[in-house]
Amino acid sequence: MILLIPTAMVLATANCYVVFYREADQSFRRSLISAAILVFLFIAISTEVLGLFNLINRFAVTAGWMVFNAALCATWLKLKSARDMTFGSLAQPWLDSTRNFYRELGPWTVIMLAVLSLITGIVAVMAIPNNQDSLSYHLSRLGYWIQQGNVAHYASHIERSISFSPFSEYVHLHTFLLSGSERYFQLLQWSCLAGILALISMIIRLFSKSLAALRIGLCFAATLPIVVLESMTTQNDLVVAFFILATAFFAFDYTQNNRLTSLYLIPLCCAVGMMTKGTFLFYALPFGGYLLISTVQKPAFRRPSLRKHTAGFVAASLILTLALNVPYWYRTYEIFGSPVGTISAGNKNTFTGPADYVSSVSKHVFLHLGFVSPGNRYNDFLLGQLKNLHGAMGVPLDIPRLGMPFKMNKLNFNEDFAHNFFGIWLVFLSIPLLLFARLPRAAKWYGWLTFLSILIFCFFISYQTYGSRLHIPFFLLAAPIVGLTFGTIVPAWTARLLPFLLWAAALPFALLSSAHPLLSTKWFFEEIFPPINSGLHLNVRIDGANLNLKQESVLHANPGRLFWGDHWPASEALLQRVNALNPQKIGFIFTEASFDYAYQFFLQKPGREFAHVLVGNASKVLEGPAFQPDVIIAEKSEGPGFSYHGKTYGLTVESDGKWLYVPSK
């Protein structure tokens, strides 16, 4: 049944092509992006609707997709009859478009992008999802939603699972129910990256015909280390980046080409983008403002027709965004008294003056400037400059109201912490080039709006050690600017060499992810890297304290070891003990960082139920009084025993930070 999703994509792409883009430039890419947005919208709406009737199950979701495909098919048959079209007649222009795109990129750029896509695609399919956030809350939601038949909130020790935006998990929910497998989870981000690259190529084409700009821009985006690593995970930063770049493209496409289709696709992007991640608002806001100002300033705005379209666009954006997001926000508000929960409150800046804002911006920027060097002298120098800046402003570097304690990165292969060292320097260099390069006025506006977006982000969001992944939309928005500026000014040989250097620097991140490497990192960090580390005095920690640094290849790695690393033997013994008891109902007592999904993965069994018990946050009101666990797994001690819903539980096992409680006889 999983083929229902690609079938819908093909039908939606064909319909969009015939109705909107048959005569347009880049018609195939435009049709594909529009179809993806429509399919995403269907997933968002259908999940909420099915949830209202407690129909989150395999049969209902499959039926929903069948109805959706039937509607798309009926639309196609109607269009086919009215416009004398067949799939065969569509295939030729699509094939011609693909060939033209191949010629524009050139064989070497295509090979470099294909190699990266192939490596990350293999890992995305073969690896068990083991990102820490995914194990804690991204994927753990699915089991409870399916168990209760809806997407209502549930009692949870992990507040993020019932307060953070849910759209990516709605997609995972559909793929799991259609296929019965978790193998498709990581393809969402991988596919969104493909869509992002298509959008970047379209943005560049709005402003320039330069082939060098196209090649540099695409290679810049595809080789960002944090992007490469995240494309193999079930996080959601690439998903939200897809909607942000789509919004930016449609805004400029409308202002440049007056294409009404682009104008009315923006509300769809806003609605689903906000449902994906709150950072959508910060990055999309400048482009929305530019669109409105540009439209109002048009001489044609005096015409009633344009005013009508503008009013319709604003109304559609507000109504659709609210209609799609208010149900989830309301469910969260009922529990926490806030539509976005309370767990993210520590990520907000609290300013007392302009110096605080400079502090926030500087720390976000310096996050990407760190690198390995002999004796760590390079990082020490930069850290010294950052401290001097803060000293001159009279603002402590690590004041809590402005984020986490600051730390200079060296070289990290983890999808939460990898930074974009070469990317940030290319972005810096593109700023003066943007001033002097001979580019269309609209291209320069796009560039300044991109830089404004990160400044808005830094105003609201404080520095975090894992902030690099939150910067993904900015770097991807900047990719067209890097391509346009460098493609316009640098010599031809540099324009050819730069993509290759970026590709070569990105290849290790694709092959040696610390979480799920295609090649064994254990071999690399035990045999190859130690002499380099000691010989150059790089001071990179490669001992056990560096979590998940030495991993086996995902092609033959044990799922449990991918989840728990060196803690797997103790965890395996606990899980075997639980299964030996053959419980029907299992209770969890977790911390915010517990690997909820990992427990569900190994303990799932037909008819078995899971629930969080003795919850300490506001969601405790959702604990079902009828739920009496046959066994309780705890990752924080509850002492030798306790009572819960009329039963007394005693401690039977304590090992490696885990406690097992069973009913006392």
Q: Judge whether residue 234 has pLDDT over 80.
A: yes
- d(C-alpha 405, C-alpha 465), whole Å: 8
Instruction: Tally the residues of the chain.
Output: 665
The residue with tokens 């799920």 is 516
- d(C-alpha 378, C-alpha 219), whole Å: 27
Q: Judge whether residue 628 has pLDDT over 80.
A: yes
Show Cβ contacts of residue 271 under 8 Å, excluding neighbours closer than 6 positions.
Answer: 41, 44, 317, 320, 321, 323, 324, 325
- d(C-alpha 482, C-alpha 203), whole Å: 12
Last residue of a domain, one of 53, 88, 105: 105
546/571 same-domain check: no
Give the angle subtended at the CA of 197 by the CAs of 88 and 221, to the nearest 5°.
160
pLDDT score at 315: 84
Give the angle subtended at the CA of 227 by the CAs of 223 and 230, to the nearest 5°.
140
575/635 same-domain check: yes
Report helix, strand or coil for 613.
Answer: coil
pLDDT band at 410 (very low <50, low <70, confident <90, very high): confident
Structure tokens at 121: 């695609």
4/73 same-domain check: yes
Percentages (nearest 5) of helix, strand, coil residues in the chain: 65, 5, 30
Closest of 367, 406, 379, 421 to residue 537, by C-alpha: 379
End-to-end CA distance of the chain: 47
The residue with tokens 């007392």 is 352
Q: What is the mean pLDDT of residues 630-656?
A: 93
17: in domain: yes
Structural domain that includes position 19:
1-105
Query: What separation in angstroms does the CA of 632 have from each of 589, 592, 628?
Result: 7, 17, 10
pLDDT digits (tens, 9 = 90+) for 462-502: 999 888 999 999 999 999 999 999 998 888 888 899 999 99
Q: What is the mean pLDDT of residues 202-211?
A: 95
pLDDT score at 277: 95
pLDDT score at 332: 94
Closest of 123, 120, 35 to residue 557, by C-alpha: 123
Q: What is the mean pLDDT of residues 320-341?
A: 92
From its phi and psi, is residue 517 left (phi > 0), alpha (psi between -120 and 50) or beta? beta
Instruction: Give the number of C-alpha atoms closer than 13 A to the C-alpha of residue 164, restricted to the C-beta side.
Output: 22
Last residue of a domain, one of 105, 137, 169: 105
pLDDT band at 95 (very low <50, low <70, confident <90, very high): confident
pLDDT band at 343 (very low <50, low <70, confident <90, very high): confident
Q: Is the dihedral of CA 556, 558, 561, 566 positive or negative?
A: negative
pLDDT digits (tens, 9 = 90+) for 243-252: 999 999 999 9
- d(C-alpha 187, C-alpha 551), whole Å: 22
pLDDT band at 298 (very low <50, low <70, confident <90, very high): low
19/63 same-domain check: yes
93: in domain: yes
E strand spans, 509-554: none
The angle that helices 4-16 and 27-52 make with each other, rounded to 10 degrees, is 130
Instruction: Give the number of C-alpha atoms closer than 13 A to the C-alpha of residue 627, restricted to the C-beta side.
Output: 20
19/99 same-domain check: yes
Q: Judge whether residue 240 has pLDDT over 80.
A: yes
pLDDT score at 544: 53
57: in domain: yes
Q: What is the mean pLDDT of residues 328-338?
A: 94
Alpha helices in 258-336 (DSSP H): 260-276, 279-297, 304-336
What is the bridge-based pairing of β-strands 609-612 and 585-589?
parallel
pLDDT band at 312 (very low <50, low <70, confident <90, very high): confident
pLDDT score at 646: 87
- d(C-alpha 391, C-alpha 388), whole Å: 5
Number of domains in the chain: 3
pLDDT score at 278: 93
Radius of gyration of the chain (CA): 26
Q: Judge whether residue 545 has pLDDT over 60.
A: no
E strand spans, 8-161: none
Q: What is the mean pLDDT of residues 599-618?
A: 95
- d(C-alpha 593, C-alpha 66), whole Å: 38
pLDDT band at 571 (very low <50, low <70, confident <90, very high): very high
Give the angle subtended at the CA of 210 by the CAs of 204 and 214, to the nearest 5°.
50
570/658 same-domain check: yes
pLDDT digits (tens, 9 = 90+) for 41-79: 999 999 999 999 999 999 999 999 999 999 999 999 998
Q: Is the dihedral of CA 388, 394, 400, 402 positive or negative?
A: negative
20/80 same-domain check: yes
What is the bridge-based pairing of β-strands 647-655 and 658-663?
antiparallel
Lowest mean pLDDT among 193-197, 461-465, 537-541: 537-541
Last residue of a domain, one of 70, 105, 140: 105
27: in domain: yes
pLDDT score at 163: 93
253: in domain: no
pLDDT band at 300 (very low <50, low <70, confident <90, very high): low
pLDDT band at 587 (very low <50, low <70, confident <90, very high): very high
pLDDT score at 373: 87
Better-scored residue on pLDDT, 313 or 570: 570
Q: Judge whether residue 6 has pLDDT over 90.
A: yes
Mean pLDDT in the chain? Answer: 91
327: in domain: no
pLDDT score at 309: 67
Q: Can you name the residues that pair with 154 across neighbouring β-strands?
A: none
Q: Judge whether residue 227 has pLDDT over 80.
A: yes
634/546 same-domain check: no
pLDDT digits (tens, 9 = 90+) for 551-562: 788 888 888 888
pTM: 0.96
628/569 same-domain check: yes
84/53 same-domain check: yes
Report helix, strand or coil for 659.
Answer: strand
pLDDT score at 549: 65
pLDDT score at 543: 65
612: in domain: yes
- d(C-alpha 482, C-alpha 494), whole Å: 13
Q: What is the DSSP string of 467-521?
A: GGGGGHHHHHHHHHHHHHHHHHHS-HHHHHHHHHHHHHHHHHHHH--SSS-SS-H
Q: What percent of the chain has pLDDT over 90?
A: 71
537/571 same-domain check: no
84/30 same-domain check: yes
What is the bridge-based pairing of β-strands 609-612 and 631-634?
unpaired
Show Cβ contacts of residue 318 under 8 Å, excluding neighbours closer than 6 positions.
Answer: none
Lowest mean pLDDT among 177-181, 287-291, 317-321, 604-608: 317-321
49: in domain: yes
pLDDT score at 305: 67
